[in-house]
Amino acid sequence: MKNKVKDFAASIGIAETGVSVFGEDKAFVCLFPYFTGYEPGNLSVYAYGADYHLVTREKLGKICEFLKTEYGAKKAAGFADIGPSVDRELAYRAGLGFYGKNDLLINPRLGSYFFIGYVLTDLSLEPDKPLDEGCLGCGKCIKACPGNALSGGFFAERCASAINQKKGELTEEEKAIIRRSGYAFGCDICQKVCPHNQKPPKPMPEFTKNLITNLRRDMFEGLSNKEFKERYGEYAFAWRGKAVLLRNIGILENKSVDNCR
């Protein structure tokens, strides 16, 4: 049964899947590659295209329906990013990757350029085993991090991606980290230098359309919140709202901006 479920997932564009245990349920875990190539700009590559929540929700929904109709599953619920478990830990236990020095999960074929989603089900799927291999341990990500967030562990309070998604006024040091990173939303620096990411695979087609690679002030100024959501709501960078993005753009421009709350 597990192989047939994996074959179905592959038929809808999901090539990397595995099974782990979560409580009394099984978790059918899926990886969604998104890397479309780096373009000049201030936006993390994962946010160039369609919001991954929308894409994963649609794919996981098809898997849920398959489990119910083909195998009579009474429980089949999909989750991505927001759910009852930590996505990457389920993926690790499902044999889909190992942890890097940058605290990201790395898949031998995909590197770290993927989103994670999973389906919790009551079906008796055989669990996979964690991988035996691990990170090369070169330390390039540690040295390259603009906030020194990876020295001796992972410190989210110094991660550029975590900082530029915070609301409210930032400290001068947080602003300095954003400037050093060059990103108005997210950050890819630790992924760019990672040896495991030097030959990234093709992305899923859903992540290749209508790409935005650079955030500019004139994209958002003058828009109401409703207009902003209508125009950019299908992009991952839109979830935090235009005020945070304008703040970050202002920081990169080295201009003072109003507090963002």
Q: Which residues are catalytic?
A: 81
Residue 162 and residue 193: Cα distance in Å, rounded? 19
Question: Do residues 18 and 29 make contact, with C-beta atoms less than 8 angstroms apart?
Answer: yes
Helix, coil or strand: residue 230:
helix
- State the helix-helix crossing angle for 2-11 and 52-71, rounded to 10 degrees: 140
Residue 168 vs residues 3, 141, 247: alpha-carbon distances, Å: 48, 28, 9
CA distances from 180 to 117, 146, 147, 212, 247 (A): 32, 6, 8, 22, 16
Place of tokens 């990411």: 197
Nearest to 121 by CA among 30, 28, 58, 9: 28
Cα torsion 94, 107, 17, 187: sign: positive
Contacts of 24 (CB under 8 A, 6+ apart): 122
Q: CB neighbours (10 Å) of residue 193?
A: 18
